[in-house]
């Protein structure tokens, strides 16, 4: 689940909590300077231009007296990223130290597609929309740090969530000695009111609009995080796991009740486990996901409301919209069903939960994830063909699958009609007896014990 990077839940810490926070902050501040005891001279900040990262930018300048390099990623969050450039310039960042990068194609091609080759879900439901974006951001932070000669990176993830782990594990895997500054583990700006007061005091240019959603709403009713794969909602009114979110919360999916009354059919073409065309039209990875989001959202596909187990130990409630990903998961399993050997498919299914935990917990760049990925990718060599899907009021149904080159489905054998001797049904008796041998031995042994 994503934590509130852009919007924060309202919270007012007690005096004891504030005191403890200051103690932790002193320790954390020392730790952030690194083993040498020297404060970083140049820091690359993952910068959205929103309230929290704008406050972090100013805080880094004041607390660490360091030069800040900003990095803003376009991973399909649906917001303009260029305003971040103007805000960074207004806060004194050098033009050459402002990086805004369009990572949508790389995100889908090198992260989303490889993950979906494994049919990955976390705890049976979550399609890892936030989790899979974090290693890409960590990768770019380190790349920019090297390019600009920075000796530290900084992020806006909170000290309670998974993102801090994902960012930092990724960073350490790519640059073992990098310094990492996590303001949420150091400062005492632990509420929205304090952040706004800090921004006002320091004349930080932030466009912050309070949203009111529903009867319970007031201020910020929930936190939202988006990319090309999904939108997540958490915190605020959603912290009550028994509270049903209002319809107005959902941004990219129609309510299934209000979705079109007529089903829509689409055909997806696969090459080595990845979608390469929709309805016969070849598309790039990012455009594939964009189109599936559009058509899936139109038909109310991909909503999820769940309670998950965070890596840091707590349970957390999150709501997700993943229309394109939901379609991709169903379609990929369908094409594998006719092109993949039974035992290979079974092995993949056994390994998938562990692979999913690796991604959720932040181990994308770990040797174990890379080892599993090579196995998964090898299994996709024969996953070629087309899948026909029916989309209707929140459901995705596979109504056809075909592979002219790699199908293992042999109709002459599987038919209920006369197969002309392709399959000798008499062979089944011996097969059954051999497989029943251990069961018969155990039954005889049990019967003997009862007699005694």
Catalytic residue among 48, 223, 269, 379: 223
Max alpha carbon distance in the chain (Å)? 90
Buried-state track 236-256, b at ≥16 Cβ within 10 A, e below 16 = bbbeeeeeebeeebbebbbee
Question: Which H/E stretch holds residue 329?
Answer: helix 323-339
- SS3 annotation, 138-202: HHHHHHHHHHHCCCEEECCCCCCCCHHHHHHHHHHHHCCCCEEECHHHCCCCCCHHHHHHHHHHC
Q: Confirm if 254 and 298 have CB atoms less than 8 A apart.
A: yes
Catalytic residue among 74, 163, 225, 274: 163
Pairing mode, strands 42-46 and 67-74: parallel
| Residue whose structure tokens are 């004194």 | 92
Q: Confirm if 295 and 307 have CB atoms less than 8 A apart.
A: no
110 is catalytic: no
225 is catalytic: no
If 0-12 CB within 10 Å is exposed, 13-18 middle and 19+ buried, where does residue 443 land? exposed
Distance, CA of 267 to chain centre: 25
Q: Confirm if 310 and 316 have CB atoms less than 8 A apart.
A: yes
Closest by CA to 162, choosing from 314, 8, 7, is 314
**111: three-class secondary structure by DSSP:** helix
Q: How far apart are CA 4 and CA 187, in angstroms?
A: 16
Catalytic residue among 2, 52, 185, 192: 52
Output DSSP code: residue 85.
Answer: H
349 is catalytic: no
Cα-Cα-Cα-Cα torsion 347, 350, 355, 361, nearest 10 degrees, comes to -170
52 is catalytic: yes
| Residue whose structure tokens are 């390469």 | 276
Query: Which ranges in 188-247 belong to alpha helices (H)?
Result: 192-201
Catalytic residue among 85, 104, 117, 134: 134
Catalytic residues: 52, 134, 163, 223
């Amino acid at each position: 689940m994503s934590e509130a990077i852009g919007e924060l839940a309202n919270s007012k810490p007690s005096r004891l909590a504030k005191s403890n926070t200051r103690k932790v902050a002193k320790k954390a501040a020392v730790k952030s300077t690194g083993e040498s005891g020297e404060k970083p001279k140049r820091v690359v900040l993952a910068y959205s231009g929103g309230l929290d990262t704008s406050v972090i930018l100013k805080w880094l300048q004041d607390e660490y007296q360091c030069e800040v390099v900003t990095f803003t990623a376009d991973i399909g969050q649906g917001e303009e990223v260029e305003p971040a450039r103007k805000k960074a310039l207004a806060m004194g960042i050098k033009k050459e130290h402002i990086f805004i990068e369009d990572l949508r194609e790389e995100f889908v091609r090198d992260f989303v597609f490889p993950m979906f080759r494994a049919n990955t879900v976390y705890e049976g439901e979550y399609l890892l929309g936030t989790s899979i974006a974090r290693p890409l951001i960590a990768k770019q932070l380190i790349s920019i740090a090297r390019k600009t000669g920075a000796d530290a990176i900084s992020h806006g993830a909170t000290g309670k969530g998974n993102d801090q782990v994902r960012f930092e594990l990724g960073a350490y895997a790519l640059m073992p000695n990098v310094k990492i500054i996590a303001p949420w583990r150091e400062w005492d700006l632990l509420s929205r009111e304090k952040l706004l007061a800090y921004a006002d005091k320091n004349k930080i240019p932030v466009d912050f609009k309070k949203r009111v959603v529903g009867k319970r709403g007031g201020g910020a009713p929930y936190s939202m995080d988006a990319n090309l794969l999904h939108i997540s909602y958490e915190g605020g009114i959603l912290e009550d796991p028994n509270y049903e979110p209002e319809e107005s919360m959902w941004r990219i999916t129609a309510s299934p009740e209000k979705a079109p009354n007529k089903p829509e059919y689409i055909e997806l073409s696969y090459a080595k486990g990845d979608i390469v065309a929709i309805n016969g039209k070849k598309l790039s990875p990012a455009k594939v996901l964009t189109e599936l989001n559009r058509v899936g959202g139109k038909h109310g596909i991909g909503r999820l409301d769940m309670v998950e187990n965070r890596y840091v130990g707590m349970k957390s409630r999150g709501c997700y919209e993943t229309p394109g990903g939901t379609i991709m998961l169903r379609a990929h399993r369908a094409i594998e069903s006719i092109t993949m050997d039974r035992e290979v498919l079974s092995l993949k299914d056994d390994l998938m939960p562990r692979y999913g935990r690796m991604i959720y917990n932040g181990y994308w760049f770990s040797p174990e994830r890379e080892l599993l990925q090579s196995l998964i990718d090898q299994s996709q060599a024969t996953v070629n063909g087309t899948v026909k899907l029916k989309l209707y009021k929140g459901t995705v149904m596979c109504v056809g699958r075909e592979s002219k080159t790699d199908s293992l489905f042999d109709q002459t054998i599987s038919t209920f009609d006369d197969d002309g001797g392709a399959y000798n049904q008499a062979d089944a008796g011996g097969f059954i007896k051999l497989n029943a041998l251990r069961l018969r031995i155990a039954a005889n042994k049990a019967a003997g014990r009862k007699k005694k």
